[in-house]
């Protein structure tokens, strides 16, 4: 009986760890999505309208120069966030496996 309670308590703790890991995974995914949306917005440059052709070209070149720097920054952020998301996914998978194993062990002991 004592062993059964210990396994049940371990299963509860494993579920708490899984919930925490899933929360971290969701947050990581949300941050990654936000950065990808920012990159997409930078890539969809508005065109200068109602400007003289020379001024329009200058504005376009200035934007592209700024956008290249911003894309570089965002790509680094996205790379870090992707690595964080992959780590969070792997941790959640491990936690899920532990919960499943403990639940199977708990149901066998009944």
Residue 110 confidence (pLDDT) above 60: no
Token look-up 């929360």 returns: 23
Domain extent listing, the chain = 2-109
Predicted structure pTM score: 0.82
For 26-78, what is each residue's pLDDT tens digit? Answer: 999 999 999 999 999 999 977 767 778 888 888 888 999 999 999 999 999 99
Contact 65, 83 (CB under 8 A): no
The CA-based dihedral angle spanning residues 88, 89, 92, 97, taken in that order and rounded to the nearest 10 degrees: -140
Q: Give the whole-angstrom CA distance, residue 88 versus residue 100.
A: 18
- Percent of the chain surpassing pLDDT 90: 72
Mean pLDDT, the chain, whole residue set? 92
Question: Average pLDDT, stretch 97-103?
Answer: 95
- The pLDDT, as a whole number, for residue 109 is 59
Instruction: State the fold for domain 2-109.
Output: Helix Hairpins (1.10.287)
């Amino acid at each position: 009986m004592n062993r059964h309670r210990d396994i049940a308590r371990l299963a509860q703790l494993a579920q708490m760890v899984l919930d925490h890991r899933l929360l971290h995974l969701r947050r990581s995914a949300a941050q990654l999505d936000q950065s990808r949306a920012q990159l997409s917005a930078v890539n969809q440059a508005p065109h200068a309208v109602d400007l003289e052709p020379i001024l329009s070209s200058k504005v376009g070149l200035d934007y592209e120069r700024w956008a290249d720097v911003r894309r570089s920054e965002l790509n680094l952020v996205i790379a870090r966030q992707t690595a964080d998301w992959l780590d969070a996914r792997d941790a959640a998978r491990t936690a899920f496996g532990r919960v499943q194993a403990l639940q199977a062990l708990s149901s066998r002991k009944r």
